[in-house]
Amino acid sequence: MRNILILTILFLTGCQYFQPKEETQETVIARVGEKQLLATNLVDLIPSNLTPMDSAIFVEKFVLDWVKKQLLITKAEEAIDFNEARIQKKVLDYQYALMVHELEQKYIDANLNEQVSEFEIKAYYNEKSENFVLRQNLAKCIYFKIPASAPDVWRFRRNLKNYPKDTTQIWEYANVHAVKAFVEDSVWIKFDEVLIETPLKDISDKTAFLKTNSSVEVSDEDFIYFLKIFEYKLIGEIAPLEFIKESVSDIIINKRKIALKVELEKKIYEEAEQSNAFEIFPN
């Protein structure tokens, strides 16, 4: 099977060497019952930038997928008594839905303003803040994963206790010795992501942990983990705007898209009404 496919690929992708004869016979690549997949069905599907070997792999996968799909269709025809009229109606409904979607998308692409101001974001957040309840704990913190064998860990520990003093020495040490670090102390981060590679990941009550700890040091056989927490937000609280700003912006843009769809429908209706393009008959 694979050898046949490779030969077919060489035939298809090497079309610059192929001179058609007056009479040609279709090459059958696969068959399921009475349904056949022909070589000519694949010509326009094969990406032109593939090597002969990659082309062969592409065709082999395409053919296998085609066979599986035809087998499913055949089994469905055998197992289910389909109402042909109903199937055709669904096909038409789907076709019309695709056509409308394409029209709407074209209108949106031409008219959508994707610029969202800080004022709009803040106004929407303030109005709909109850919709942004946290499902995970957040924290503003700094975090360092230091090899247990690193030199002068005691000095790093002392400087960290004095944070935000001695930050230059902290950053320099972390830059050289930390295996992993998070130093954006003004950025909200999911607290579980901070703990995931530490012995603290199995803490059962992370909410209580956040409430009772601001500076933590734990270790295992290979590493020492330093965590300093400055602020936190708990599950069930309203998410801070900084954390969800991008999501709020996306919501505003999506609402604009919906508004444009309504606008398009109204515009088409009014134009048709003015030109007497439709008529509604009384019952």
Where is 180: in which H helix or E strand? strand 180-182
Contact 173, 156 (CB under 8 A): yes
d(CA 213, CA 209): 6
Residue 230 burial by CB count (10 A; 0-12/13-18/19+): exposed, middle or buried?
Answer: middle
92 vs 86, 99, 192, CA distance in Å?
Answer: 10, 10, 48
CA 240, CA 117: separation in Å to the nearest integer? 18
Which pLDDT score, from 0 to 100, does residue 128 have? Answer: 96
How confident is the model at residue 48, as a pLDDT? 81
pLDDT per position as a tens digit, 86-114: 889 999 999 999 999 999 999 999 999 99
Question: What pLDDT does residue 25 have?
Answer: 66
Q: What is the pLDDT of residue 160?
A: 93
Q: How far apart are CA 209 and CA 223, in angstroms?
A: 21
Residue partners of 15: CB distance under 8 A and separation at least 6: 43
pLDDT tens digits, residue range 208-249?
999 999 999 999 999 999 999 999 999 999 999 999 999 999
∠ CA 67-70-75 to the nearest 5 degrees?
Answer: 125
Q: Is the peptide bond before 164 cis (omega within 30 degrees of 0)?
A: yes
Q: Which residues of the chain have pLDDT under 70?
A: 1-25
Inter-residue contact 225 to 170 (CB < 8 Å)? no
Are residues 258 and 230 in contact, defined by beta-carbon separation less than 8 angstroms? no
Distance of CA 210 to the CA centre of its chain: 31
Residue 24 is predicted with a pLDDT of 52
The pTM for the full model equals 0.72
